[in-house]
Amino acid sequence: MTTDIASAAIVIRAIEPEVVAGLLRRDDAGREPRPMVCADGGSPLRCCLGRSVPGEEIALVSYAPLRRWARETGADPGAYDEVGPVFVHAGPCPGPPSEPGFPPKMGGELRVLRTYGADGRILGGHLAAGHLTTDPRTATGLLAGRFADPRVAVVHVRAVEFGCFLFEARRAP
């Protein structure tokens, strides 16, 4: 998904289908996933940037988001190459939304926008409190603000409550 944010094209990226397929065989921690039926719904799905619905089959897998970006770019994230839990569809996925901007279903009361430089090192973090549930345009503006720093190569948006990776934003090629 590409969106024009404050005159700078930013790509918001869900976990790509081929990566999800691999994670469903063996995740980034080397484990076989355990699909489950989501009884209540509402789990944040990183494959489509949506939320699960009651009765939907999902899987909780370990994912290393910075590692994959580093492979593409040649960066060396060193100790920042962390692995954490993410929910994905256990079967067919509709893919991410086509509307531009911050994915509305990934909003929450507290989010961290963690910025990384081209070398894979953390440059900083920005706590977004309240902005991401009340106004997606404000959230999109917060992303654009991170990319106003020319040193920023990639931004990871994370949930504060659990520390989980939600999605990645990059400058458009």
Q: Contact, 121 vs 78, CB < 8 A?
A: yes
Average pLDDT score, the chain = 87
Query: What percentage of the chain has pLDDT greater than the value 70?
Result: 90
Is 80 exceeded by the pLDDT of residue 138? no
Cα separation, 80 vs 165, in Å, equals 13
Sequence spans of domains, the chain: 2-171
Are β-strands 165-171 and 44-45 bridged in parallel, bridged antiparallel, or unpaired? unpaired
pLDDT classification of 4: cutoffs 50, 70, 90: very low
- Average pLDDT, stretch 18-34? 96
Token output for 57:
């089959």
Residue 2 has what pLDDT?
39
Cα separation, 18 vs 16, in Å, equals 6
- Average pLDDT, stretch 87-111? 83
Residue 143 has what pLDDT?
85
Cα separation, 161 vs 164, in Å, equals 8
The model's pTM: 0.87
Higher pLDDT, 136 or 78: 78
- Average pLDDT, stretch 81-91? 95
